[in-house]
Amino acid sequence: MPARMLAAKIISIRSLAMTKSIRVQACLAAVVLLTSTMGFAQSSGEATYKAKCMTCHGAAGMAETAVGKALKVKPVTDPSVQKMTKAEMTEATRNGMGKMQSFKDKITDAQIKDSVDYFRSLMK
């Protein structure tokens, strides 16, 4: 085989190897993306909170939304919120509190528990 053709062949093998490694990388990226979306799905408390609670309590629990302000929802930094136990909060969410409706027929007990956990994570 003439040297030129051999060189061309080596180059083409190299580029093939490169395409392969790019493919492997793309594959890895897809796996990383998949596991991170799975991680997101696992923190269902956050998803429930964003869907069911955020309009009043706000993304950061500061009740900074229009509805939150209108209903005078207390921010998580409020002493009366801070002193509530997890059980009291779960109870409040389940059966309602002041202007907050009862959630027991709207979402599952697990969703109540998870969204309260998420709410409490905003208190720190």
Residues lying near ligand HEC in the complex (CB under 6 A): 52-53, 55-57, 67, 71-74, 81, 84, 89, 92-93, 97-100, 103, 115-116, 119
Phi, psi of 100, deg, nearest 5: -85, 130
Helix (H, G, I), strand (E, B) or coil at 65: coil
Report whether 74 contacts 80 (CB < 8 A).
yes
> What is the smallest separation between the CB atom of 41 and ligand HEC, expressed in angstroms?
18
Residue placing its CB nearer to ligand HEC in the complex, 11 or 109: 109
DSSP state of 98: T
Residue placing its CB nearer to ligand HEC in the complex, 74 or 121: 74
Residue placing its CB nearer to ligand HEC in the complex, 20 or 104: 104
Report whether 32 contacts 24 (CB < 8 A).
no
